[in-house]
Structure 1
Amino acid sequence: MHNKASLKTRILLPIALVLAILFGAVILSLYQHEKVDAGLRFDRDMQSVKAYYQSALARRGDKLGAALEAILRDERLQAALRAGDRDALLGRAMPLFEQLRDQYNITHFYFEDAARVNVLRMHQPERHGDTVNRHTTLAAEKTGKTAIGVELGMVGTFTLRAVAPMRDNAGLVGYVELGQEIEDVLRGVKEIVGIDNLLVIDKQFLVRQDWESGMKMLGRNADWDRLPGAAIVHQTLDLSREQMSRILLPGALPGTASDMEIGGKHYYTGVIPVEDASGRKMGDLVILRDMTENTDEMIASMRFLSLFYLPLAGALFALLYLITRRVERRLDESNRQLIAQGREREAIQAQHIAELKDERDKLRHAQEALQKNEEDLRLAATVFENSTEGILITDTQSRILRVNRAFTEITGYSEEEAIGQTPQMLRSDRHDATFYQGMWFSMIEYGYWQGEVWNRRKNGEAFPEWLTLIAIRDEARKVLYYLGVFADLTEKKMSEARAHHLSNYDALTELPNRHLLEDRLKQALTEAHHHGWLVAVQHLNLDRFKTIVDTLGHAFGDKLLRAVAERLAGHIRDSDTLARFGGDEFAVVLSDVGSQQNAAMVARKILGALAEPFILEGQEIYITASIGIALYPLDAGDKDDLIRNANVAARYTKEEGGNGYRFYDAEMNATASQRLTLETSLRRALERDEFVLHYQPQVDLRTGRIAGMEALLRWQHPVRGLLAPNEFIPLLEETGLIVPVGEWVLREACAQNSAWQADGLPPLRVSVNLSARQFRQNDLVAAAHLALQDAGLAPEQLELEITESVLLQDIHATITVLNQLHALGIEISIDDFGTGYSSLTYLKRLPIG
């Protein structure tokens, strides 16, 4: 019995120990490999966040720069900024601000004079007069060019700012600044990249009171003492003070990953330094990747290996136990035979020795089988079946040995179809032999290659992928296998294509936008310069488009613009460019037009195409256009001057009644200069008391008596004398001065009526015309009430006239305002009735006399 126990111990105990060590080694290898792979994935996540953050800021910077280019060319803004006229700036820039805010989420729109003193903040008009010393403004002043960068606000939020100098013919006027909060970029890290994050700012750059009030206004945690040296301004995951302190340990290297448990989940964390436009480190962007699912998958893999390995080891151990027991029985039999048969001992012993040798060989074979199973387990641990990236392993002859589930999902080939084949089954026709020669040269020389490759799926579809190839070697540096890991870039490429389309084409009409037209015009001018060609730019404004929109609505106007774009596109050459600038403005670039007559012929074709009616929503709509034409090199030598001169010519066409075309000539700029001079004088006319009111009697035809007086506005110009309304009223409307001038007319008419009655004249009703812009002011009712009170005039002795087009701009809002005025006792009348598209049903609801 003692010998039996000793034999089992000597054989089975070492084998059991070897099996346990092998199992532990496999588990440890799998665990370490998963940890390394998780770290690599997190490093890629950090790079993805950096790349997304930088590319998102770059795209927004490009949009801000493009928007600034259009603003800087606005002559009315140039004149207003040079004159320091804040009202004119506000009136002209507010529609631009609203359009930029709706289209690009612009939150800041500033004007500064040449000394960097703020003239106007569009979102806070009451704040002005301070000197702007931000880095981007100083950079624009120093370089004379557009400066774009991220700057820290008072409450700790970052704003992407673009600042550019504005110049007119006289030189530097001042600076224009656009800003956009980058909060959505940080949200995009979570929503697009799929990674939690939080932004902390060093307290040395913040003022505690400003930061706390800003955080409360934004509905965020305003605990200043939450961290000792930094303040949190953005977060997608709530962390405790201890967790935050652990992540932001002093001396931690930027980009270094660490792991921690948060809320029962396992996270990898890393820190990316955040700098402002001057390169100063303002704080850190903390990246947190939820690795709970990866950890659970690793544990599941270990459990799977345990379920596979333990039964196999148990079966092998049982086999060894049976063999050992069989050997023991043979030895017992041999001993009995030696005792019983004395003489035959040596022969029997030799027979048993031979049998023992046979059993020893079986044990050796069993140990070799165990070693092979260990290699299979190590290979299985290397191939990560649950990876989101496609993985394939080939031998040194490039025959595929293993593929994972992601490979099958991306390529369409099943595991059975792929094994035994070579990666050439995926090859597309996008790359030549030189490309693949370079790839294999890198594999042979360095054992590594990485880059973008176009491959082909099973269904024949070509797709882009980011491929990494690695040569797996043994200790002697001999290549054993080739490992390929790839990620499908199809969605990324589609996103880039969509972004390119949005930046170059008009979203409503799908025509090229101003940016793309200017690019093509620049190319056309370069070719024209080399070949001596003539290039024409046609600027097209639709006539009466605003009236159609005011009458039938913006949705109808959008349909009309799409129909116009489609019709115009059918009347230009493929080599020419038709673009929409915005609103009702279109432009055409005619490259190598040949002659002025050819340009005129194209304009006539366009006018003829628009002469046919448009049938929209069952209505027949007629629309015409005003076209201005400028020629290279006759009228201008660069694209900006060509577009501007064509626009000037189009404006002259419209002033002459529209539905025609005009070629640009130099006298138009002289007329425009006269108009600018008149506009400058008009802006000071109110403060100089140059406006006067003339009163036209209103006679009752039944009695022949005067029933009222209509107040008519005139301008007593200091040089040109008394000017009629048609010479300055359109300018008042265009510049927005119609609002303060209209209020003056209202007050003056009420005061004059009261003065007449004080002099003994009988009570009369005075009539005052309201402009469209004045009628849409929120304080119209209060202004009318105040004018009556100041003059001591009865409400029924005041009549306000509006036009039919004002009535139809927003019928429901109009009814509300008219009812409020009527409630005060003020009379209402409609002027020019019958020129629009009024509905008698609405008229019945209006309190008009």
Structure 2
Amino acid sequence: MRSLPVEVKLAFALGVIALAVGVASARLANATIERNVEAAAAVSLHRAAEAFASEEQAELDKLAATADALLANPELRDAFAARDRPRLLAASAPIFEAIRDRDGITHFYFHLAEDPPRVFLRVHLPELFGDPVDRATLHRAQETRELGAGKELGKTAFALRAVRPWIVAGELLGYVELGQDFERFLRDMKARTGDDYGLLVKKKFLDERAWASVLGPRQNTWNDRTDVVVVDSTSFTDGILDYDGDVEALPEDGVLLGHVERGGRALLRGIVPLRDAAGRKVGGLVVLHDFTPQHAALEAGAPRLKVSLLALALAGAAAMFALVHLLVFRRLGQLRRRLETGEVPAGSPRLRSMDELGRLEAHVHRMASSDRDARGAGEAPPPS
């Protein structure tokens, strides 16, 4: 190594530095790409949550519009006003079958205008009536005499509900309520979006006895988790429902739970807070969202970016070496060759540059000229 020319040593050093810079830049680029993937995942989660909320609102609007159509039915109005339950059931049962098959509506109620309101007729369960109702949507309709709508958490499950006051000639006749099981809503959402969903609900908002009676001893999942239960889910695979945090402490933008790659697809997992019609944060909505296009776009650019950074570093080192060779080593080589061959012109040197090498060339020229003059003065004159 000691015998190698300085120019070779410099080239080797610049190459090593270029490789080090390229590797460091590639690692930095990889970290940047990972941050971009996380940012894209956050955007995807936010959009999935927005799509869910939009679909939920669309379903509530559909329930409200259907309730409005029912209020315009004179047969239903007369039977309800007369408090004739068999007649009201006979008139509403065919309507319920139609809207159940067409719109997925699973609940149909008539409530009396009392305080608290009592169920006059459950069209979907006619043998059960007379019980008081304590739900936020009905309270809102009762207090405002306007639509009360939202998702309500019962003793064991969620449902989308819309309640309309039925006012005839300025008098409150009662209330009409329509609802849709949240499980069916989630299945419809999965069919439209391709996403999977799961609902984690705090146990304190549910009834343990009702939960056990509905599921039975073999399927009772009450004790599977510490403080939450899985109320509904479109998938139980890929650990979609794994979450150890407190769902009541979830930020409004939700939390990313990472992503997995399966079958050539990139699947994002996240959780957003779930509120009921009363505004209570009762649980979390877990989303398994396909964000393959965004993920693929970022991943595809990663190798090219790394190669480009490494090539740029090597090109920079090569350019630096060429510049040093041109400004330094070529001129040093020329000076060395003149000294070795004795080709030092007489007279004052003509400097091409006043930089350090130019001054060195001038100094060497003066030394060589002085030495030549000294040798010339010491020689004996020729005989006469």
Superposed, which structure 2 residues align to 1:567-716 within 5 Å? none
Structure 2 Cα separation of the partners of residues 170 and 322 of structure 1: 94
Report if the CA contact (8 A) 2:194-2:290 is conserved.
no
Distance 1:89 1:20, change over 3 A: same
Structure 2 Cα separation of the partners of residues 64 and 252 of structure 1: 29
Structure 2 Cα separation of the partners of residues 4 and 255 of structure 1: 62
1:321-367 Cα shifts (integer Å, max 9, x gaps)? 7898998698578546534x4573999x999999x979xxxxxxxxx
Q: Which residue of structure 1 aligns with residue 344 of structure 2?
A: 344
Q: 2:252 aligns with which of 251, 254, 266?
A: 254
Structure 2 Cα separation of the partners of residues 316 and 52 of structure 1: 48
Report if the CA contact (8 A) 2:15-2:314 is conserved.
no
**What is the one-letter code of the residue matched to 1:163?**
V
Q: Which residue of structure 2 aligns with residue 59 of structure 1?
A: 58
Distance 1:70 1:322, change over 3 A: closer
Distance 1:22 1:177, change over 3 A: same
Show structure 1 runs of 5+ residues with no match.
Answer: 359-849
SS at match of 2:243: helix
Distance 1:173 1:318, change over 3 A: closer
Q: Which residue of structure 2 aligns with residue 164 of structure 1?
A: 164
Report if the CA contact (8 A) 2:118-2:132 is conserved.
yes
**What is the one-letter code of the residue matched to 1:132?**
V
SS at match of 2:125: coil
Give 1:198 shift: 2.0
Structure 1 Cα separation of the partners of residues 146 and 324 of structure 2: 90
Structure 2 Cα separation of the partners of residues 175 and 316 of structure 1: 78
Structure 1 Cα separation of the partners of residues 99 and 334 of structure 2: 101
Structure 2 Cα separation of the partners of residues 335 and 67 of structure 1: 99
Q: Does 1:174 align with 2:178?
A: no
Q: How many residues align?
A: 351
1:596-616 Cα shifts (integer Å, max 9, x gaps)? xxxxxxxxxxxxxxxxxxxxx
Distance 1:37 1:187, change over 3 A: farther
Give 1:23 shift: 5.6
SS at match of 1:274: strand
Q: Which residue of structure 2 aligns with residue 126 of structure 1?
A: 127
Distance 1:49 1:346, change over 3 A: farther
Q: Which residue of structure 2 aligns with residue 830 of structure 1?
A: none
Distance 1:235 1:5, change over 3 A: farther
Q: Which residue of structure 2 aligns with residue 389 of structure 1?
A: none
Q: Which residue of structure 2 aligns with residue 210 of structure 1?
A: 210
Q: Does 1:49 align with 2:48?
A: yes
Structure 2 Cα separation of the partners of residues 259 and 96 of structure 1: 44
Give 1:108 shift: 0.8
Structure 2 Cα separation of the partners of residues 243 and 199 of structure 1: 8
Report if the CA contact (8 A) 1:260-1:266 is conserved.
no
1:517-573 Cα shifts (integer Å, max 9, x gaps)? xxxxxxxxxxxxxxxxxxxxxxxxxxxxxxxxxxxxxxxxxxxxxxxxxxxxxxxxx
Q: Does 1:111 align with 2:110?
A: yes
Distance 1:159 1:204, change over 3 A: same
1:648-686 Cα shifts (integer Å, max 9, x gaps)? xxxxxxxxxxxxxxxxxxxxxxxxxxxxxxxxxxxxxxx
Give 1:94 shift: 0.9
Structure 1 Cα separation of the partners of residues 324 and 72 of structure 2: 97
SS at match of 1:245: coil
Give 1:176 shift: 2.1
Structure 2 Cα separation of the partners of residues 95 and 250 of structure 1: 42
SS at match of 2:67: helix
SS at match of 1:164: strand
Distance 1:23 1:291, change over 3 A: farther
Distance 1:296 1:100, change over 3 A: closer
Structure 2 Cα separation of the partners of residues 254 and 76 of structure 1: 46
Structure 2 Cα separation of the partners of residues 215 and 45 of structure 1: 34
Give 1:267 shift: 5.2
Distance 1:251 1:64, change over 3 A: closer
Superposed, which structure 2 residues align to 1:487-526 within 5 Å? none
Report if the CA contact (8 A) 1:12-1:321 is conserved.
no
Q: Which residue of structure 2 aligns with residue 91 of structure 1?
A: 90
- TM norm structure 2: 0.72
**What is the one-letter code of the residue matched to 1:98?**
E
Give 1:142 shift: 2.6
Q: Which residue of structure 2 aligns with residue 9 of structure 1?
A: 9
Report if the CA contact (8 A) 1:200-1:230 is conserved.
yes
Structure 1 Cα separation of the partners of residues 177 and 89 of structure 2: 14
Q: Which residue of structure 1 aligns with residue 76 of structure 2?
A: 77
Superposed, which structure 2 residues align to 1:240-639 within 5 Å? 244-246=242-244, 251-262=249-260, 268-290=268-290, 294-295=294-295, 297-310=297-310, 335=336, 338-339=339-340, 341-342=341-342, 344=344
SS at match of 1:225: coil
Give 1:270 shift: 3.5
SS at match of 1:9: helix
Distance 1:193 1:304, change over 3 A: same
Give 1:37 shift: 4.0
Superposed, which structure 2 residues align to 1:738-817 within 5 Å? none
Distance 1:126 1:350, change over 3 A: farther
Q: Which residue of structure 2 aligns with residue 696 of structure 1?
A: none
Distance 1:284 1:26, change over 3 A: same
SS at match of 2:155: coil
Report if the CA contact (8 A) 2:166-2:173 is conserved.
yes
Structure 2 Cα separation of the partners of residues 250 and 93 of structure 1: 40
Q: Which residue of structure 1 aligns with residue 232 of structure 2?
A: 234
Report if the CA contact (8 A) 2:104-2:184 is conserved.
no
Report if the CA contact (8 A) 1:75-1:168 is conserved.
no
Distance 1:240 1:190, change over 3 A: closer
Structure 2 Cα separation of the partners of residues 125 and 150 of structure 1: 23
Give 1:282 shift: 1.7
**What is the one-letter code of the residue matched to 2:287?**
I
Structure 1 Cα separation of the partners of residues 346 and 229 of structure 2: 91
Q: Which residue of structure 2 aligns with residue 450 of structure 1?
A: none
Distance 1:253 1:319, change over 3 A: closer
Give 1:151 shift: 1.0
Distance 1:324 1:145, change over 3 A: closer
Report if the CA contact (8 A) 1:64-1:162 is conserved.
yes
**What is the one-letter code of the residue matched to 1:63?**
K
Structure 1 Cα separation of the partners of residues 330 and 71 of structure 2: 103
Structure 2 Cα separation of the partners of residues 304 and 346 of structure 1: 58
Q: Which residue of structure 2 aligns with residue 611 of structure 1?
A: none
1:49-99 Cα shifts (integer Å, max 9, x gaps)? 343333333333333223223323444433433443322121111111122
Structure 2 Cα separation of the partners of residues 336 and 186 of structure 1: 86
**What is the one-letter code of the residue matched to 2:66?**
A
**What is the one-letter code of the residue matched to 1:271?**
I
1:617-639 Cα shifts (integer Å, max 9, x gaps)? xxxxxxxxxxxxxxxxxxxxxxx
Higher relative contact order (CA 8 A, sep 6+): 2
Report if the CA contact (8 A) 1:16-1:317 is conserved.
no
**What is the one-letter code of the residue matched to 1:152?**
L
Structure 2 Cα separation of the partners of residues 194 and 345 of structure 1: 86
Distance 1:176 1:38, change over 3 A: same
SS at match of 1:2: coil
1:577-602 Cα shifts (integer Å, max 9, x gaps)? xxxxxxxxxxxxxxxxxxxxxxxxxx
Give 1:320 shift: 7.0
**What is the one-letter code of the residue matched to 2:281?**
K
Which stretch of structure 1 is more off in the superposition, 185-194 or 84-93? 185-194
Show structure 2 runs of 5+ residues with no match.
Answer: 359-384
Structure 2 Cα separation of the partners of residues 92 and 162 of structure 1: 20
Structure 2 Cα separation of the partners of residues 254 and 242 of structure 1: 20
Report if the CA contact (8 A) 1:81-1:89 is conserved.
yes
Distance 1:93 1:343, change over 3 A: closer
Distance 1:350 1:190, change over 3 A: farther
**What is the one-letter code of the residue matched to 1:49?**
A
Q: Which residue of structure 2 aligns with residue 138 of structure 1?
A: 139
Report if the CA contact (8 A) 2:269-2:288 is conserved.
yes
